[in-house]
Amino acid sequence: MQTHFNQEIEQQLLTVGDFVRFAASEFNRADLFYGHGHDNAWDEAITLILYTLSLPSQLSEQIFHCRLTHDEKQAVLAIIERRIIEQKPAAYLTNQAYFAGLPFYVDERTLVPRSPLAEWIEKRFFPLIAEGESVARILDLCTGSGCIAIACAHYFPEAEVDAVDLSEDALNVAQINIELHGLTEQVIPIQSDVFSGVSQQKYDLIVTNPPYVDQEDVDNLPTEYTHEPSIGLGSGEDGLDITRKILAQSSEHLTDNGLLVCEVGNSQVHVEATYPEVNFTWLTFERGGHGVFMLTKQQLDQYQAIFNQRVKK
């Protein structure tokens, strides 16, 4: 497991803390980008090194004083080097990401889970959904790795959840995660172009994190994002090609008191410019995040003509 780091470096680095500090410095020197679970080199270094040492992420600081064997040093230096040279998100190097407090398998067939929606799923969308209110069916539209669908199933154990995506590759990853969490009876993966695979179906809650990156941002994405499937990122010039369809078609798939919750990230500005007449409820986040709106079934009906009119042909 030879690396480009010289033998002297290996000899000088002794403890877990030494390697974390070294990795963070090397990551900063390499000017890496963080946006797939961490926002800084230090946390990224800890994640990669503890993963490589087969240690859990939640340990006391005593672990930083523990020494590594020669083989462990080589393995840690190798993953540090891969992160720098390949510029892949850490989750693709470990094949693991966390969402809503739950572990997920990930690879380059799907986006790395990172939606701020996790915060709202963990609190069962309260107060948008009243405490104790029945939620029998949930749709996760554009499910990717299945993280939103599975998190919804975890926090709404009474609900049936459909997880739909156009990408067969993504659905294969979602199936891995559904099985990992023992939810094959509760979460059903379905291949679908928006709502095509669930025609005639109605849900109490539709949650969606569709592709929403506008063309200008797609053209300027950091290298780390180029490892993700492009189908999961871009959606036309203003990032709203799929969101327009979701807005136009959601009403017929919601129960009378149903809700649509949709993430559009930085394309919030395009949503507000495209639909100035629509009274979107923009959700707020305690842990950071933006660009997620909620509309009720009644609002979707109210603005149906506008939504239909602005779908791109």
| Confidence at residue 45, expressed as pLDDT on a 0 to 100 scale | 95
C-alpha to C-alpha distance for 27 and 177, rounded to whole angstroms: 30
CA triplet 121, 239, 163: central angle to 5 degrees? 40
CA 116 to chain centre: 8
Q: What is the pLDDT of residue 6?
A: 67
- The sign of the CA dihedral 309, 281, 254, 243 is positive
Residue boundaries of the structural domains of the chain? 7-94, 99-309
Residues pairing with 281 in the sheet: 294
pTM: 0.91
Q: What is the pLDDT of residue 230?
A: 78
Q: What's the rounded Cα separation, in Å, for the pair 80 and 95?
A: 15
| CB within 8 Å of 305: residues ≥ 6 apart | none
How far is 27 from 45, CA to CA, in rounded Å? 8
- Tell me if the domain spanning 99-309 has CATH number 3.40.50.150: yes
| Cα distance between residue 61 and residue 133, in whole Å | 42
pLDDT at 180: 97
Nearest to 31 by CA among 87, 96, 107: 87
Please report the beta strands in the chain, taking only residues with DSSP state E, as ranges in sequence order.
96-99, 102-105, 137-141, 160-165, 187-191, 203-208, 254-263, 281-282, 292-296
Please give the pLDDT value at position 61. Answer: 81
What's the confidence (pLDDT) of residue 233?
Answer: 78
The pLDDT of residue 3 is 59
Separation CA 45–CA 48 (nearest Å):
5
pLDDT at 50: 94
Q: What are the backbone angles phi and psi of residue 293, rounded to the nearest 5°? A: -115, 160
Residue 127: cis peptide before it, omega within 30 degrees of 0: yes
Query: What is the pLDDT tens value at each position of the chain, 313 positions in all?
Result: 555 776 788 888 999 999 999 999 999 999 899 888 788 999 999 999 999 999 987 777 888 999 999 999 999 999 999 999 999 999 999 999 999 999 999 999 999 999 999 999 999 999 999 998 999 999 999 999 999 999 999 999 999 999 999 999 999 999 999 999 999 999 999 999 999 999 999 999 999 999 877 788 878 888 888 888 877 876 777 879 999 999 999 999 999 999 999 999 989 999 999 999 999 999 999 998 999 999 999 999 999 999 999 887 6
